[in-house]
Amino acid sequence: MAVTIVAEHGTHLLIADGERYAVIERRQDRFYNCHDEKRTPVDTLSGVAGILDERDWADRDSARAAFDAVIQRGNDLAQRML
């Protein structure tokens, strides 16, 4: 099954692979894992399987909650910097 982008905000993406969901980061057209200091990038969205393991995938609701939390942390940081 193909990996698809479900939502994006800033550099963060909520992606789906069938019924599995994960939060990743895209910087300069390269994709990065956001967990456990796994920062080796891949160049294509189809290559994210190489940077994600089973612990990085979640059900839709859990992944959406993690995605929303990442966005909120970024918004909170931006507000503190003002």
pLDDT at 75 over 90: no
* Tokens 């894992």, residue located: 33
Tell me, what's the pLDDT at 18? 94
Cα distances (Å, whole numbers) of residue 21 to 1, 8, 80: 13, 13, 30
Show Cβ contacts of residue 45 under 8 Å, excluding neighbours closer than 6 positions: 3, 5, 15, 31
Higher per-residue confidence, 80 vs 25 = 25
Show Cβ contacts of residue 70 under 8 Å, excluding neighbours closer than 6 positions: 12, 23, 34
Query: Residue 64 carries which side chain, given as an amino acid letter?
Result: R
The secondary structure of 44-59 as a DSSP string is: SGGGGGGT--GGG-B-
pTM value? 0.88
